[in-house]
Amino acid sequence: MLIRHVKRADIPSISRLYFETVRRVNTHTYTAEKILAWAPRIYRDTFWQQRLHRYTVFVAEKEGIIIGFTELARSGEIDCFYVHHAYQHQGVGSALMARIEQEVRSRRHPRLLANVSVTAEPFFHRMGFAVVRRQIKIQRNRAFKQAVMEKRWRTRHRGVRTANTRLTQRAPQARVSHQGS
Task: Catalog residues that contact ligand COA under the rule CB under 6 A.
Answer: 21, 25-26, 81-83, 88-94, 116-117, 119-120, 122-123, 126
Q: How far apart are CA 158 and CA 176, in angstroms?
A: 10
Residue closer to ligand COA by CB (options 39, 52) is 39
Residue 71 Cβ, how far from ligand COA at the closest point, in Å?
A: 10
Sign of CA dihedral 152, 93, 104, 57: negative
Residue closer to ligand COA by CB (options 57, 155) is 57
Residue 28 Cβ, how far from ligand COA at the closest point, in Å?
A: 8
In angstroms, the Cα distances linking 181 to 113, 137, 155, 163, 167 are 14, 28, 10, 10, 18
Q: How far apart are CA 149 and CA 114, in angstroms?
A: 5
Residue 77 Cβ, how far from ligand COA at the closest point, in Å?
A: 11
Q: How far apart are CA 68 and CA 83, in angstroms?
A: 4
Residue 172 Cβ, how far from ligand COA at the closest point, in Å?
A: 41
Residue closer to ligand COA by CB (options 86, 171) is 86
